[in-house]
Structure 1
Amino acid sequence: MKNAWKGAIAVAAAAALILTGCSDPGSGNTTTSSGWPSQTASLKGVTLTIWAATNSNKTADNVIAGFEKATGATVKVVTIPDPYEQGVQTKVATGDKPDLAFWQPTASELTSLNAKTNLISLDGAPWLSKYSTGLKDITGLLGNTRYAALVTSPAVEGVYYNKEVFTKAGITATPKNWDEFIALAKQLKAKGQTPFFEMGGDKWATQWWVQVQLADAAKAGLWTRVNENKEKFTDPTIQGAIDNYKALIDDGLFNSDIKTATFADQGTALLSGKAAMVVQVNSFFGELQAQSNTAELNQKIGFFPISPTGNVGTFIPDQSNALVAFNTGKNKQQSAAKQFLSYWMGTGYPSFVKAQSTVSLETAVPSPSDVPQALLDVAKSVNTSVGSMQALAVANPDLYLNLGDMIQGTKTTVQVAQTTQDQFTQLAKAQGVKGF
């Protein structure tokens, strides 16, 4: 990625407002003692623009309705076509910026937006103290500066499974480590059941199979070593995980249409029992919810994290989990953007989690009673999870595209690792990372 970013930093006026505790006479905003705008201060005449992906463009609807009513502001959501991240980066590189955008709050993805220039700091945000234990600093930071607001529980890579398929096969307990996981899959195959379903046509989830195998290594500093160029994707740990994934495919443990299957197919297959298990992240559950209801999901779908030696999850906050606010050089817009986030995580948060039927991040706000148990189990696993490549590495190479090529038969496992390493090196050099 090229860092051809442009942006003006306009902080003097905002700093003066914070120091005096006064409002910008042109904005109608008032500030609290912390320097953040009051949640419901008047914003008549102000229009905020939010960029969102296809799977997050409805997420803020409830919040927007409440915020517009409380402040008089207008909030517009603009859907950026998939691939979302590349689309946003291209627009920002040309100087086109929204006020806010859904964005993956990891260090590598904040770096890809050149956060220090293009985003405004959210340090001192009034909702930070409200987060449940362990969530405040799990993500959203680049260095010591906070650039992203976490609004939903961070995604965790793990295994969604069909409880009815397990019961029918006589399986009474979920696996406690990788060896048990694979043994269970072979047991299911022997009974004529497809153990795993992969969406090789859409590709992006393929990398989860490699990354969950790296959980223990990540806990032991794998990505720190990769970041320092002391370990590579071509070395035994990551190469071995890629090799293992390919071996499972070759062993016939996946769906026969793996090359063409889509994200929607994956949801249908798990719900129907055509497949027993899927390695996925939280956004997959949204697909299940679109095809079902809470009662059916509680009856059919379970979740467990997996790692080589245990049940350690791998967390990977995605763009639907958080928002960033852009440095547009317009104090009124930037203040209004911060006010919107403060409202979302303050006054608007109880109705947001209820409307979304999602797990609450805040201690004082209970999760709605209709949140499916599998999602509660995912959220519960966050505190014991370890960071993914996206969360801990300094760059995010196209591992999933290379694995997709492997599934299609156009790359070997060795070529997957080498191509990914070459991309990582290129990205690290472009960022000026020491050691590359």
Structure 2
Amino acid sequence: MRRRKFLAATVALTLGLAACSDPSASTPAGDSAVTWPDAGTKLDGVKLTIWAAQNSNTVPKKVIADFQQATGATVQVVTIPDPYEQGIQTKVATGDKPDLAFWQPTASMLTAINARANLQPLTGAPWLSKLDPKLRDMTGLLDQTRYAALVTSPAVEGVYYNKEVFAANGVTATPKNFDDMVKLARTLKGKGVTPFYEMAGDRWSTQWWVQVQLADAAKDGLWEKVNTKKETFSSPVVLDAIKKYKSLIDEGLFNSDIKTAKFEDQGKALLDGKAAMVVQVNSFFGQLQASADTATLDKKIGFFPISPSGNVGTFIPDQSNALVAFKTGDAKREAAARQLLSFWMGTGYKDFIADRSTVSLQPAVPNPPGVPKALVDVHASLAGSVGSMQAQAVANPDLYINLADMINGTMSPEKVASTTQKQFEQLAKAAGAPGF
């Protein structure tokens, strides 16, 4: 099944890129041709569809309700089963497109969806001047054309921890680097505490453990070296991180049900104090917010970034952070999709972030009351963070699936590395990356 999903994604990418050989298919509407309807323009009778993943399907609930009331449009959210990205690529390759979709706004994933042929350019979006300048061009661009709208703070790979578990076991300071964190984990295990919780049943978070170990290497240009074949996933720097992850699992520092545990299990375990730490991204905190109020979260949950050398985060804008608007061939719906984005980040933005209790991306719009401190700390870590594989590599292979297979005993670390490298080369070649 894993191999079929990878091939489906590769076929989807190849089909999309093939369309680029036709100039009429690859030429966007033209930057100068992008127009932005007034956010309040009436849209009676217009129906829009948004594709979302399991962890993003509730994000637009408030803004959709407000947009529908203001414009008369009807907006339906359709949840695409995990693995979300592969599912969308396969659908798009067969001509099935929504009006908008949550999508990882990195260059590699915009390439994977063949943005030039399939997505509307968002050139001149009216909210761009309102964004924090540090975030404006961090993501969402491919070949200098904007295709994704950032709606929430870009995700950061780091460590969420239970403050009460730390305090009950005499931990008064958070770890200062990766080895310090492992040392703490061993101490906690010796006291009968489950140090780390992983969700290999849902698989997608497994890669964070490898990537946080690569933060220093990423800062030194690792992914550019991988892009230019100077390094591979089988090079010691990456393979050693994979081996380290496996050794920590073999040591018993993770939950005993690691092979079958799922996303919802992970959140519950940390919130209930059944585990001390979780390596995750922002969407994980969204799950916690659905289960507890801000006062409870501030009391129980903290966050710290982590890397081999210190407290450095790894930024990975994910699909819950941004939306793309598709070219559907229906000019009225395409304009309405742009209007929804304009409303979202304009008229509806203050109410949106208040509903989500999330950090504001616009300096002129203050954080709403009740934003949990951990989420503020995650956002603050962006300034000193480094790019993830997804943000800096030319292709995004199935590292997480291969790592899950390792956890389930069907792949060795060496096989994870070599399989991921082979996938990376196939995807890079299909994308037309130089040297592949």
TM-score under structure 1 length normalisation: 0.92
- Does 2:382 correspond to 1:382? yes
- Mapped partners of 1:47, 1:93: distance in 2: 23
- Does 2:264 correspond to 1:264? yes
Q: What is the deviation of 1:15?
A: 7.8
Q: What is the deviation of 1:434?
A: 1.1
Larger Rg: 1
Listed as ranges, the matches of 1:381-400 within 5 Å are 381-400=381-400
Report sequence identity in percent: 67
SS at match of 2:375: helix
Aligned to 1:101: 101
Letter in 2 for 1:423: Q
Letter in 2 for 1:209: W
- Mapped partners of 1:55, 1:161: distance in 2: 20
SS at match of 1:360: coil
Aligned to 1:207: 207
- Mapped partners of 1:155, 1:12: distance in 2: 29
SS at match of 2:306: coil
1:9–1:329 CA contact under 8 A, matched in 2: no
Listed as ranges, the matches of 1:28-47 within 5 Å are 35-47=35-47
Q: What is the deviation of 1:56?
A: 1.8
CA-based RMSD of the aligned residues comes to 1.8
- Mapped partners of 1:16, 1:294: distance in 2: 44
- Does 2:402 correspond to 1:402? yes
Aligned to 2:160: 160
- Does 2:412 correspond to 1:419? no
What's the CA shift string for 1:341-392, capped at 9, x where partnerless?
A: 1111000000101111111111111111111111111111112111111111
Distance 1:84 1:194, change over 3 A: same
Letter in 2 for 1:393: A
Aligned to 1:358: 358
- Mapped partners of 1:16, 1:428: distance in 2: 31
- Mapped partners of 2:140, 2:386: distance in 1: 15
What's the CA shift string for 1:305-354, capped at 9, x where partnerless?
A: 00010111011111111100111233222221111111110000001011
Letter in 1 for 2:388: S
Letter in 2 for 1:228: T
Letter in 2 for 1:55: N
1:50–1:99 CA contact under 8 A, matched in 2: yes
Aligned to 1:145: 145
Q: What is the deviation of 1:432?
A: 1.7
Letter in 2 for 1:60: P
- Mapped partners of 1:199, 1:12: distance in 2: 40
1:199–1:205 CA contact under 8 A, matched in 2: yes
- Mapped partners of 1:91, 1:156: distance in 2: 28
Deviates more, 1:181-190 or 1:226-235: 181-190
Letter in 2 for 1:4: L
- Mapped partners of 1:305, 1:221: distance in 2: 20
- Mapped partners of 2:256, 2:30: distance in 1: 58
- Segments of structure 1 that go 5 or more residues without pairing to the other structure are 19-34
- Does 2:22 correspond to 1:4? no
- Does 2:314 correspond to 1:303? no
Letter in 2 for 1:415: K
1:47–1:73 CA contact under 8 A, matched in 2: yes
1:14–1:331 CA contact under 8 A, matched in 2: no
SS at match of 2:302: strand
Aligned to 1:178: 178
Q: How many residues align?
A: 420
- Mapped partners of 2:28, 2:324: distance in 1: 21
Aligned to 2:434: 434
- Mapped partners of 1:73, 1:406: distance in 2: 47
2:44–2:72 CA contact under 8 A, matched in 1: yes
SS at match of 1:134: helix
Listed as ranges, the matches of 1:190-269 within 5 Å are 190-269=190-269
Aligned to 1:76: 76
Q: What is the deviation of 1:73?
A: 2.0
Letter in 1 for 2:350: P
Distance 1:91 1:216, change over 3 A: same
Distance 1:354 1:133, change over 3 A: same
Aligned to 1:118: 118
- Mapped partners of 1:243, 1:16: distance in 2: 50
SS at match of 2:435: coil
- Mapped partners of 1:117, 1:66: distance in 2: 31
What's the CA shift string for 1:209-257, capped at 9, x where partnerless?
A: 0000011111111111111111100001101100111111122211122
Q: What is the deviation of 1:197?
A: 1.0
Aligned to 1:292: 292
Aligned to 1:370: 370
- Mapped partners of 2:414, 2:33: distance in 1: 57
- Does 2:85 correspond to 1:85? yes
1:10–1:331 CA contact under 8 A, matched in 2: no
Deviates more, 1:304-313 or 1:252-261: 252-261
